[in-house]
Homo-oligomer: A and B are copies of this chain.
Amino acid sequence: MKASIISVGTEILFGQITNTNSVFLSRQLNLLGFDVLYHHTVGDNESRLSEIIKASLKDCDIIITTGGLGPTEDDMTKETICSVFEDVLVEHKPSRKALENIAKERNYGKLTQNNYKQTLMPSRATVFHNDRGTAPGFALELKGKYAIALPGPPGEMTEMFDKKVKNFLKQFQESVICYRTLRFFGKGESSIETELIDLIDNQTDPTIATYAKEGECSVRVASKRDSEEEACEAIDDVVSEIKNRLGEYIFSYDDEEFAEVVGKKLIEKNLSISCCESCTGGMFAETLTSVPGISKVFDRGITTYTEKAKIDELHVNPRTIEEKTVYSSEVAMEMVQGLYKKTGSDICISITGVAGPEGGKEDFRPGSAYVGFKYNKKSFVTRINGRNMNRDRNRKYMVLWMLNIINKNI
């Protein structure tokens, strides 16, 4: 099947947002064995969208649109698809009911005619319920060609795709593509590639692709075979080989977030944890508590931003701060000791450093920090050498580093 991805939205043409929907859909469609021939972006303009759809259908079997399904007047993706696919919009009762339920739950007040516009669907459509928003998506067929319309907000679109559209598309799949994504911390993309270059160069199937993410990397191993078993087996062989070479840097073999891996391990081992943070400002606590069920083991997090807070809350010795500075191995250790004294948590972890973009010094650039760790009789401090990225990236990298320390030591 040949596919065209069409994004609808003037904000993309203004350069106000980056088109991440096309990236997501391209990856997903390729994994399902589709050939993506085009990405198109067009504003909220019926005649241009109509032309793009018609042009795409000349050499594609399926078009997938994102955006333009909302309640406002300039949303006209449905109307345009209907006209090209020779159908009409009619009220879709389950969607109407779903909208009214959401409105009630979220206290929207009285629904306007605009709101109800979202519950009109092409009469022949297969409707995809939107679990995260109010605009449903749909699939529509004419003479063996398909249109799939998805909402524009990435969260809604990806969830709808994962939960509903993927299954719908499987009917067109001629072979099976399986893949596994390994996630790495502590080794850069080009360095991983160098270690795997012979596998990458000789690849036909499975294929191996590396991706860089903020502070971490992933490697996707994919195989396209006649059956799932065959594909999985082929993948497992390659994964074993990668594990042999680079296992110490891999924190997940199933594309899990680092916090999820660590959180689950803590819950499984029933180890209580507390943290105290300076430069990360609560980001470690926030990241770890993003894991559902973590309340079983997470006791507390203390963000001691000022020196006074470090002294009050964690009994850091003012003299240590004065003599060693607040960004020091000694302060990190006193923080973790103070935290343990007050919480008694199985695991205590502390961080003090420079989030950036300003601050730091010659040998302690923004992004640098000391991490204190205590678990049973083991306690130590490690140093993160700052990469001098922006504030957000520096802090995210620090949090990954903290997760890595826990992961390696429990």
Contact = CB atoms under 8 A, between A and B. Distances in A.
5 contacts: A11-B211, A19-B23, A71-B193, A72-B190, A281-B298
A163 interface: no
Interface of A is mostly: mixed
Q: Determine how many copies of this chain the complex contains.
A: 2
Interface string A348-361: 00000001011000
Given A284-B282, A312-B342, A14 B38 contact: no
A73 interface: yes
Interface string A178-191: 01010000001111
Contacts of A15: 22-28, 30, 36
Contacts of A342: 312
Interface residues of A, number: 109
A154 to B, nearest CB: 10
Nearest to A365: B105
Given A15-B25, A15-B30, A209-B11, A193 B37 contact: no
A10 interface: yes
Contact of A292 (B72, B312, B357): B357
Interface stretch (A89-97, A242-250, A386-394): A386-394
A300 B305 contact: yes
A166 B382 CA distance: 42
Given A13-B37, A290-B391, A285 B299 contact: no
Given A277-B282, A301-B305, 10 more contacts: A7-B39, A17-B23, A39-B40, A105-B388, A282-B289, A282-B303, A285-B286, A292-B357, A300-B305, A300-B309
A59 to B, nearest CB: 8
Nearest to A17: B23
Interface in A275-318: 277, 280-286, 288-290, 292, 294-295, 298-306, 308-309, 312-313
A313 B299 CA distance: 11
A36 B36 CA distance: 23
A220 B16 contact: yes
A16 B209 contact: yes
A39 B52 CA distance: 11
A74 B26 contact: no
Interface in A29-75: 30, 36-43, 48, 51-52, 55, 59, 70-74
